[in-house]
Amino acid sequence: MENLIVIKIGGNTLSQLQPSFFQQLQCWRKQNKKILLLHGGGTKITELSHQLNLPVRKINGIRVTDEQVLEVTRLVLLGRTQPLLLQQLAVNSLPALGLNAADQFLLRGSFLDKQRYGFVGKIVQVNSSLLEHLLAEQIGVLAPLALSTAGQWLNVNGDSAAAAIASLLGAKQLYLMTDVPGVLKAGQVLPTLNRKTAQYLQAAHVITTGMQPKIQAAFHAVDTGVNQVQITDHFYHSGTKITQEGVNNDEFTFSNL
């Protein structure tokens, strides 16, 4: 899809969005960019699960999702975080539309590993014709949930969903926004990150479990043709740019792991 920018906003980040975030969206719209926002809600899902005495378990950063946790996830994403983001966009005079997988099978998914994760999926198809029509006039606000071909709801990691959608739609830019300014080493942001360096940092426990799905998603996007992938907390911070193998990371040495 021409001129498409995909932005994933973490649940914690929703309450921290600065005026500059909305100003950048306004600027992109004036440049005829199409904008798709995916929103998370992991912290609130965990909080509500605890209140309901439901188990909270993650494997490699992926939330194990049984039927009850799936219902909580749908409730939080579609009933709380999506309306909150739509409200903020409206206040900033940005036209936006809330979307989910059930809108004409907008997102189709398949089970990631049902035995291990339960009702967790991965995105395999996007209704691109519907999105192209909608995004021509307004910003899309999409929850990271998918429907299987049989109509089963699936919980999808927000970063993985954003990367898959960006790839399937041929987006040129993908921003994975979080509550830290990028991938950190010794408190400093790495300006670039390739897969080899990421593997070293994971082995040294510098990149923690919570960041791993985000980095894996970012590399998937780069490997499948998304030109610019950044992990950051603000558009005006360059954050960490994900690069192909062979691109060196600035000022990085393995001796200081």
pLDDT at 256 (0 to 100):
41
Check whether 155 is labelled as a binding-site residue.
yes
Check whether 92 is labelled as a binding-site residue.
no
Ordered by start, the domain boundaries in the chain are 4-180+226-236
pLDDT at 247 (0 to 100):
52
Check whether 246 is labelled as a binding-site residue.
no
Averaged confidence pLDDT in the chain: 90
Check whether 158 is labelled as a binding-site residue.
no
pLDDT, tens digit, 9 for 90 and up, residues 4-59: 999 999 877 888 888 999 999 999 999 999 999 999 899 999 999 999 999 999 98
Rounded to two decimals, the pTM is 0.91
pLDDT, tens digit, 9 for 90 and up, residues 137-180: 999 999 999 999 999 999 999 999 999 999 999 999 999 998 88
pLDDT, tens digit, 9 for 90 and up, residues 185-242: 888 899 999 999 998 888 888 887 678 888 999 999 999 999 999 999 888 878 999 9
Mean pLDDT of 92-117: 96
pLDDT at 250 (0 to 100):
45
The fold of 4-180+226-236 is Carbamate kinase (3.40.1160)
What the block records as the tokens of 27 is 């600027």
pLDDT at 207 (0 to 100):
80
Maximum alpha-carbon separation in the chain: 52
Cα separation, 75 vs 70, in Å, equals 9
Cα separation, 254 vs 156, in Å, equals 33
With a cut of 50, say whether residue 255 has pLDDT above it.
no
**Beta carbons of 241 and 228 less than 8 angstroms apart:** yes
Beta bridge partners of 141: 37, 98
pLDDT, tens digit, 9 for 90 and up, residues 120-141: 999 999 999 999 999 999 999 9
Alpha-carbon torsion, ordered 123, 11, 132, 91, to 10 deg? 170
